[in-house]
Amino acid sequence: MIWSWIPANAGLIWQLTLENAILGLVPPLLGLMISAPLGIACVRWGWLYPPVLSGASVVYAIPSLALFVVLIPYTGLSDATVIIPLTLFSLCVLVPNVVDGLRSVPEPVRQAATAMGFGTMRRLAQVELPVAIPVIMAGLRVATVSSISLASVGQLIGVSSLGYLFIDGLQRDFPTEIFVGIVLVIALALAADIVLVMIRRLLTPWQRGRRDAGAPPFVLTPQMEQNLPEGVA
Amino acid sequence: MSYLSYAWSWLTTSQNWHSSHGIPVRVLQHLGYTGLALLVAALIALPLGVAIGHTGRGAFAVVSLANIWRAIPTLGLLILMVIALGFSPLTWLIPLVALGIPPILVNAYEGILGVDPDLKDAARGMGMTDWQVLVRVEIPVALQLILLGLRTSAIFVVATATIAAEIGLGGLGRYVIDGLSSNNYGEVAGGAALIVVLALAVQVIFVGLRRLVVPAGLRQQARASR
């Protein structure tokens, strides 16, 4: 490790960190905005869910680099070439979580809201979505951490991120630079994860004092597994 | 020109199929790297995950591992390895295996842990030894989740093997990386199409495997509970 390299390049490192943060954070946010209505629709119209789930498990299996390069003729080497595929990956994680979250609302809770005079929309906004927050946030954490880490692969097609430190370090045979890049990607991902946990705690004060659920289980949910035979094979 | 026309004209160029680094060779390489890494990862992670699920020891470490695992930039890890070790089979095998282990480990652990305690009691009541309970009850019941872990792991290993072309590994990633550096978009597009097909074919293999090895009764049950 050549420590003096770090302060000498602080400006570059900071800029790359910012770029990586934007490339990593925009996709899960876009994903959340798309998956919320899509998930609600899948719960409302059950027939919609199996094809959506099959589509998600197919997209999820495609390596990110392949999706990036497919977009090059359309979006060039802009940020969109990285953001669009990462948004698709976020959707694959988020839609099942939105659906599971909404389905986890206990029937008596739903009935109580109806009995209090809540219409469908108000019940959704004030009762069902809040109860689903912990499950949705678990999905958002997975999507955000993966997305920040995958954004660095975009450097292979020339979209700037902390991945620049990997490629430049390889060309200059300079391990310090690569090491700094790896540490910063992981630090950025874990920082975003911690912020999301704090947001979840603020949004769900009734859960205070309960033990955290810990890491969400692996992204392909058993439902996705069960749906693939009909969809693909 | 659209993506598809680039990909199509490259894929239908006979020379790309017949040279010594032709498409069939690259496909076999990619499958070989993936299969080898997955095999080694499974040999390490399956016994470990089953043991942790069965005994409950080390569960915290598994959960923390899974959290950090997603944050690791695979490209950075591969490049660090090649700079530290030079290019040898271990340079790519170690990261591929290391990235393949967590999904298998966590799902084996979760699967065994989630087996209904009544089921285990019943098995013991029938006179099964601890080992028999594990092999004849816990593992078959957990098989669905265990296979899911292997499948998730396969997704990551296929993707990482693609990126490993940047450090000089063969396989289908070569077309994308070489095409990008020589400004030959046709090669990039054709390579990407082959990668997509290969990734989906690997998934179909796992779907078939699941039909083959998961007891029919369990598959039915899982579907009914949806």
Instruction: Determine, yes or no, domain membership for B216.
Output: yes
Class of domain A11-206: mainly alpha
Distance, CA of B56 to CA of B215 (rounded, Å): 25
Distance of alpha carbon B154 from alpha carbon B160, whole angstroms: 10
Burial A56-76 (b: 16+ CB within 10 A, else e): bbbebbbbbbbbbbbbbeeee
Q: B147 in a domain, yes or no?
A: yes
Domain positions in chain A: 11-206
Q: Which of B4, B26, B70 to probe the A interface (max A CBs under 10 A)?
A: B70
B13 belongs to a structural domain: no
Contacts of A220 in chain B (CB under 8 A): 148, 151-152, 155
Q: At what angle do helices B89-113 and B139-163 cross, to 10 degrees?
A: 150
What span, in angstroms and rounded, lies between the C-alpha atoms of B160 and B158?
6
The first and second tokens of residue A191, run together, are 């920082």
A-chain CB neighbours of B167 within 8 Å are 170
User: Given a cut of 60, is residue B143 above it in pLDDT?
Assistant: yes
**Crossing angle for the helix pair B139-163 and B23-55, nearest 10 degrees?**
140
- Does B3 score more than 70 pLDDT? yes
What domain count does chain B have? 1
Helical segments of A152-204, H only: 163-172, 175-203
Taking 50 as the pLDDT cut, the residues of chain A under it are 214-233
Query: Residue B80 domain-assigned?
Result: yes
Closest-CA distance of chain A to residue B104, Å? 9
Asked if the model's pLDDT at residue B224 lies above 60, the reply is no
Among B132, B131, B140, smallest CA distance to B112 is for B140
CB contact under 8 A, A170 and B76: no
Grade residue B220 by pLDDT with cuts at 50, 70 and 90.
low
**CATH number, position B100:** 1.10.3720.10
In this structure, of A9-18, A184-193, B150-159, B212-221, the range with the lowest mean pLDDT score is: B212-221
Q: What is the dihedral of CA B202, B206, B211, B216, to 10 degrees?
A: -170
Q: How far is CA A178 from CA A5, A137, A163, in A?
A: 12, 31, 9
For residue A204, what pLDDT is reported?
A: 87
With respect to residue B26, please indicate whether it lies within any of the assigned structural domains.
no
Pick from B1, B83, B180: which is nearest to A175 by CB? B83
Q: Phi/psi at A161 (nearest 5 deg)?
A: -165, -170
Q: Is residue B219 part of a domain?
A: yes
Establish if B107 touches chain A: CB-CB under 8 angstroms. yes
Among candidate residues B99, B209, B162, the one with its CA nearest the CA of residue A228 = B209
Q: How far A122 CA sits from the closest chain B CA (Å)?
A: 27
For A60-70, the pLDDT digits (tens) are: 999 999 999 99
B169: in domain:
yes
How far is the C-alpha of B64 from the C-alpha of A190, rounded, in Å? Answer: 12
| Residue B15 is assigned to a structural domain of this protein | no
Tell me the residue range of the domain where B195 lies: 37-224
How far apart CA A213 and CA A138 sit, in angstroms, is: 9
